[in-house]
């Protein structure tokens, strides 16, 4: 085999590898629209916590919120981030405002509801209601974001 034939074989193999990588990047970019894509230089938990805080402020509701990121699963490009929100002794109007703002939020489709509980703040003499809700956010991990960013350069 000549050096030219060997170089042609290597070029053909490189083109196939490049085409496979381009296809993978295109699939990842298309499917990433369903997931939270972390910003550069910020911790995912802090970023999501800040966004939930914006929703609560816009709805004018006081609440306790907690955000926990789990580890990536099975070497995939995804991680689950669990969010819990508690409201104590609030009005139903406050809860309605919160849900309205939450539904209108640009990333709302990226949230997957796990549990929502609404009940009176006091069973004998209720003055308001308590709300406990839990949901998860499916987010791309650092490797996926790096792969997407490298593919766009």
Q: Taking a C-beta distance cutoff of 8 angstroms, is the pair 84, 132 a contact? A: yes
How many CB atoms neighbour CB 95 within 10 A? 20
What's the pTM value of the predicted model, to 2 decimals? 0.70
Tell me how far apart the alpha carbons of residues 134 and 115 are, in angstroms, rounded to a whole number. 5
> Closest Cα to residue 81, out of 67, 66, 97, 101?
67
Q: Is the dihedral of CA 48, 49, 50, 51 positive or negative?
A: positive
Q: Residues in the chain with pLDDT < 70?
A: 1, 28-32, 40-42, 69-75, 108-109, 151-153
Cα distances from 117 to residues 88, 93, 147, in angstroms, run 12, 16, 39
pLDDT tens-digit series, residues 68-108: 766 556 567 788 888 899 999 999 999 999 999 988 888 76
The gap from C-alpha 37 to its chain's centroid, in whole angstroms, comes to 7
Q: Are strands 111-120 and 64-69 parallel, antiparallel or unpaired?
A: unpaired
């Amino acid at each position: 085999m000549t050096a030219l034939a060997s170089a042609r074989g290597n070029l053909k193999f490189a083109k196939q590898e490049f085409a496979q990588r381009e296809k993978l990047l295109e699939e990842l970019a298309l499917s990433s629209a369903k997931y939270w894509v972390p910003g550069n230089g910020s911790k995912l938990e802090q970023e999501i916590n800040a966004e939930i805080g914006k929703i609560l402020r816009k709805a004018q509701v006081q609440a306790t919120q907690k955000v926990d990121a789990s580890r990536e699963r099975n070497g995939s490009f995804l991680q689950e981030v669990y969010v819990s929100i508690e409201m104590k002794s609030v009005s139903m109007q406050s809860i309605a405002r919160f849900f309205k703002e939450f539904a209108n939020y640009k990333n709302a489709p990226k949230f997957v509801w796990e549990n929502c509980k609404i009940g009176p703040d006091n069973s004998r003499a209720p003055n308001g209601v308590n709300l406990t809700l839990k949901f998860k956010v499916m987010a791309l991990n650092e490797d996926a974001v790096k792969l997407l960013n490298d593919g766009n350069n």
